[in-house]
Chain A
Amino acid sequence: MPVMDLSGQTSVGRVLGTADATPLQFWVAVAPGEYLQLDDVVVTRRELPDQQPVTIAGVVTAVRARHEGAQFESDVFAIADGTLPAQVQEAAEITTTRVDPELYVPPSPGAPVHRAAGDDRSRALYFDRMEQKVPLGTGRDGMPVFLNFEFLNGQRGAHVSISGISGVATKTSFATFLLYSVFRSGVLGGEAVNTKALIFNVKGEDLLFLDHPNSRLTESTASTYAKLGLTAQPFPDVSVYAPPRAGDPSGTPDVSSRLSGVDSFYWTLAEFCADSLLPYVFADADDERQQYTMVVHSVAAHLAKTAVPADGGVAIDGVRLGSYADLVDFVVAQLADEASRSFWAGSAVGLGTVNAFSRRLIGSKKDLGRLIRGDLPTNRAHSVNTAESSQVTVVDLHNLPDRAQRFVVGVTLKSEFERKEKAGTAKPLLFVVLDELNKYAPREGTSPIKEILLDIAERGRSLGVVLIGAQQTASEVERRIVANSAIRIVGRLDPAEASRPEYGFLPPAQRARALIAKPGTMFIGQPELPVPLVVEFPFPAWATRPAEAGPAPRATLRSLTQAADAFAVVGARPPGAALSDDDIPF
């Protein structure tokens, strides 16, 4: 029994009259033979005296079906047996997204409700108002869903917060898809070339293959990309940085699966002293609560003042120091010496505090020895600098211990942020993707990294630094960072986490659905829309793990030397064949 209205469109049902219809929420009785599912976009109209008709558009946020005419719960058996007549009546709860013109009147009960398609759908979801649209994926109806780029590029808002359980929420995959969409959808225009992204890889070697095609990409995935206005390709321009291998004097990058196109990054002792990087060695939140922070800053200042570059390492008071361990030992010795202690630590510091500092400094030797070097040539490129790097810069942290990870993230963010500050213009933008934000910017305590992240969250919008932060639990991340994120994204959530106020932007039905969201489904809240949209983003067109990686791009061949096996015997039998004594080169 299709319900037709004056415009000749087939409607899916009518506004219910037995439940209150309000301008912001109402129920629709679904016509027999029709259906409405969650996230469907619908539209209804209301005629008003002396006014133009009001169009009320909304999204289905709940659906229910029940037997009409049944009085008792056991009646369902009589109905299913075919003895009791009853009607199955479906109803859908609509949360209004847009009222146009803005006359907040309830829809009239009985008014026909249509599935919104084409322009109606775009208007309902505000896509018509978006001048720069970033495709986010497809809605449940298979049509594209967009993000207003003005809320990402700092014009009206910036920063993204992605929450969800590790493993199934696909947070980093979505973050990279979002970057790809921003770079390749054309919203950046001429700035696309100079817009950069900095990605910290914290888990596995997952993000090291962004420039490799995904060998598991299917035709249907490629067509989804095409529907979104994108081409299914890997990132074209990627630089990968990895820390030097531990104990390796030549400083080769510590990666196991990706063998070509990886550069190692480290800091020289001279940079460590001159740029006062010592505080980032003590970047735990509980470090800041200790007394010895005074000592940290005092020692850092003294190093900056007295250290002079000397043949890769530094010389302090005429003593040449060739490694981080040497530097630590020297500083500890100076602090232990009664005569020099006051120069290094200041005069009003107790011996216990100095010793606490020394203990922790000695503890950092093992973690940071491979990152702060005095034994490598100074003219070799070794720093992570997005301005001189490719469009996407991946910094691999997954092999590093916690203290070293904090040091790298802290120092890199600081230098990037300072560089943007000096540049003075917001454009071109810099996107920073940082997973485990709850570790770097926890709700409790302070640390140098948290200070930088807060700075980015609060001033980054005007400086052109956009933070795409991911975390398992938004409730454990500094409130000001979450509050400053214009775009809030949720994947599958932990049930206990989902009830926290940080997810208040999700309506109750969506909050319940987030508990069962499957990988690839995200709930995206953006400032213009009163209801978060449920989006399925396509399978990545780039490899997300070594097993998926297709052939390496040509550009990575520039560092082919690292892939060459020095012990390979010319004319040796192919790999996989049995090894005979003759093949052993020595």
Chain B
Amino acid sequence: MSTTTTSATRELGGAPRSAEVTPESFGRDVLGPVVAEFCLRLWTLGTQLERPEDTAMLFCARGGLRMQLAHERFLASSGLPTAVSLRPLMVSRLAAVRPVLVRTPREGLDHLLPSAAAALAKEFAVLDLGAAVKALSGVGPEQLPAGAAAPLSQPFTPDGLAALLRSPDGALVTEALEEQADLFVEHLRQQLDGRQHALLVDTGLYGTTRDLLAEAGLREQTSCALIARSFRPGTAADHRTYGLSVTAHDYSLLQRRSVLLRYWHFVEWLFEPPLRSTSRFERRADGRVVADTEVDGWEDLVVPAPGTPFAGVLAYLDALPPAPAEKVVLDADRAWGQLHRAVVLPTPDHGWAMSVEARSHGFGREETWTQPEQRGLLEVLRSDGMWREGEVARSATPLRLPVLLAVEALYGLRNGYRAVRRRAPIAKR
């Protein structure tokens, strides 16, 4: 087996079963036009800025790093000029929440600011305060005074963390958070290089990083462009965060682009290079602030292994002619239909070509989402895996089509139910 095939197999978590649809061909023929359309829209967005020279598109680690690679390849092939600076930003929700958290002790607040409280309440719902503090600051319960022991063993609440940050017992935590928050803000300004508008570019879905940075008290303006934008129930739309390929609450049969929400793990996996999530920053001897994501040769790891879907995406982008808007629009129109069918009614080939490996949860936690081993049909249907339809397809059951159509019908019913529920409070008002 060649090195190439080994790499492809490693990234796919299993051997491709057929040459008809390979991961790379799927990437080139289907995902390539979809990504090219995103790049075209991102370029168009840049042309509509009045002060493009004052804006930096900051591609957010980790998925954004490959988005930057794709965008640079798109610009190189197409020859389309841009006055907007393109830079990587080493960030995670963990890194972005710290500047918001430190406003609580610095400004003498008795609560966490709303975006931090919402993000942490969701991420740490099942942890105790001690584990959450360790994930956020790196300070373990054993390093804190005995007086803090009782609250640390309580379930995590935003108010509990706010109280700790304001108390003398939490001084070590506050200090650690402040150091990391300040280093992150310095990294952000390094990447902005004097520009006043940070346009974050990321995969999706909720724009949490931009929400956090907007509340971090930065003097710079922030906005966000995502591939897909969705909304947490009960949250209002933020008019500085947009989904350039799709904006939707849920997957809907009427909006085939929303198929990205049906198998979001794939989108994340497609763009995510094998780099660790950004957790800590340090200052190097030359004065530069760097993140733990920036290991030696990290740029090389952003380049995909041959034979993978993302390698196919880059092959499509590299082959684009100059000023390719017409081709991209027409190709993307076809590709969205193919992607929709591949996710909703996958063949066994699609099942293998779009299979993903384990993905880390992030936010300083150790848990991962994993692709289960091949399972029986009933087990697949009962479980809540990353992509149930792909597992059905890979099982090669003769019931593939009726089962997948039934799943689609259930999505349709769920979609209708949720749409009614979303409208209900509006109708009452």
A and B are interacting partners: no
Query: Which A residues lie at the B interface, using CB under 8 A?
Result: none
